[in-house]
Amino acid sequence: MKQPQAITAILQQLLEQCQPLYSQGKVADYIPALAKVAPDNAAIAVATIDGQIHTAGAADKNFSLQSVSKIFGLVMAMNRIGDDLWQRVNMEPSGQPFNSIVQVEWEKGIPRNPVINAGAILVADVLVSHYSASKSAFLTFIRRLVGEENIYADQQVYLSELEHGNRNAALAYLMKSFGNIEAEVPDVLAHYFHQCATAINCRQLATSLLFLANRGVQPHSNEQICSRRDAHRVNAILSTSGMYDQSGEFAFKVGLPAKSGVGGAIVAIVPQFGVITAWSPALNSFGNSVVGMQLISLFAEELGLSLF
């Protein structure tokens, strides 16, 4: 593996190399709070399980966690209800856009996997039904993983998501019509939008997910966050489904479990090594960050990180 100084230098160089891509892609505009984020922003952070953190660009600038929040919700739900979860959500790639409705109808209210919107709303239902205050439990979980208290939901993003959430509401009501949502739909949606609205930066996000690269144990606290088996399972789901209907291409080109969000973040897990996070707000047609994809692809190639 490269020396620490070499990693920082590589990140810096990749960031410069990717600058011409800032103008490609389109910032998410389904809510005003995201539409106003300037596209010429980017960051990359690499946290390693032996405690190093390397960054380049705006690695301390907050962005909206959005769909990357689906990982944290999933781990919480797996910890809370164990394998019962898999009676209510599948683990297959969807091959459809992240907010697709058709498969929920075809598959009688069972979402294809927990990291598309339908699946994450199902997971939100588990959390609402099993925690007395699921929104704050979610924030407490992330804070504990990062080891910092200053992580909050952005209220403006949260309220905007609630106001423009008709498609997610349709998904939730459709699943409820099949008997696969237990709590009241408005409560489930409130939790889901609140976790999407979490404000975090690249450095914090890379640190938070180290347990997935370390068989379920968070290295800095030595705490078992989930079982080794579940860490492997989450990584498997991220490998097949984390980049939505671009997951096949990402596995082919990069070869790492990964998750993206429409706030422009992408995380990639490198088992036994660490976590790479990249952020840049302009998205491609799949909803994945253009610069983020390129930064992670080039870094993984440079270090030969593909698992395949």
Could you list the active site residues? 67, 70, 192, 244, 262
Smaller CB separation from ligand GLN, 11 or 190: 190
Looking at 196, 202, 290, 296, which residue binds ligand GLN (CB under 6 A)? 196
| Separation CA 151–CA 200 (nearest Å) | 6
Structure tokens at 239: 């490998």
Binder among 154, 161, 230, 245 for ligand GLN (CB under 6 A): 161
* Among 112, 132, 131, CA closest to 122: 112
The total of other beta-carbon atoms located within 10 Å of residue 209's CB is 30
Q: Which of 8, 99, 140, 227 binds ligand GLN (CB under 6 A)?
A: 99
Measured from the CB of residue 262, what is the shortest distance to ligand GLN in angstroms?
A: 4
| C-beta separation of 195 from 142 below 8 A | no
CB 232, CB 250: distance < 8 Å = no
Closest-CB residue for ligand GLN? Answer: 67
Q: Could you tell me the two tokens for 188?
A: 């489930």
Residue 212 interacting with ligand GLN (CB under 6 A): no
| Tokens, residue 205 | 């996000």
Is 67 a binding residue for ligand GLN by CB under 6 A? The answer is yes
Residue 156 interacting with ligand GLN (CB under 6 A): no
270 labelled ligand-binding: no
168 in a labelled binding site: yes
Q: How far is the CB of 306 from ligand GLN (least distance, A)?
A: 24
Site for ligand GLN in 35-64 (CB under 6 A): none
d(CA 250, CA 233): 18
Q: Please, what is the minimum distance in Å from the beta carbon of residue 12 to ligand GLN? A: 28
Q: Are 32 and 164 in contact, with CB atoms under 8 Å apart?
A: no
- Furthest CA-CA distance within the chain: 55
In the bound state with ligand GLN, the residue whose beta carbon lies nearer, of 61 and 144, is: 61
Tokens of 76: 């919480």
261 in contact with ligand GLN (CB under 6 A): yes
Rule CB under 6 A: choose which of 41, 48, 55, 66 binds ligand GLN: 66
Query: For the chain, percent helix, then strand, then coil, each to nearest 5?
Result: 50, 15, 35
The 221-260 site mask, x for binding ligand GLN (CB under 6 A), equals: ----------------------------------------
Among 76, 75, 207, smallest CA distance to 131 is for: 76
Total of chain residues touching ligand GLN, rule CB under 6 A: 11
Q: How far apart are CA 141 and CA 136, in angstroms?
A: 8
> Could you tell me the smallest distance in angstroms from the CB atom of residue 117 to ligand GLN?
5
Residue from 104, 118, 262, 300 in contact with ligand GLN (CB under 6 A): 262
How many whole angstroms separate alpha carbon 171 and alpha carbon 122?
9
Half-sphere exposure of 168 (CA within 13 A, CB side): 26
Question: Judged by CB under 6 A, which of 43, 57, 77, 98 binds ligand GLN?
Answer: 98
- Residues lying near ligand GLN in the complex (CB under 6 A): 66-67, 98-99, 117, 161, 168, 196, 261-262, 287
Could you list the residues known to form a binding site for substrate, using ranges. 67, 117, 161, 168, 192, 244, 262
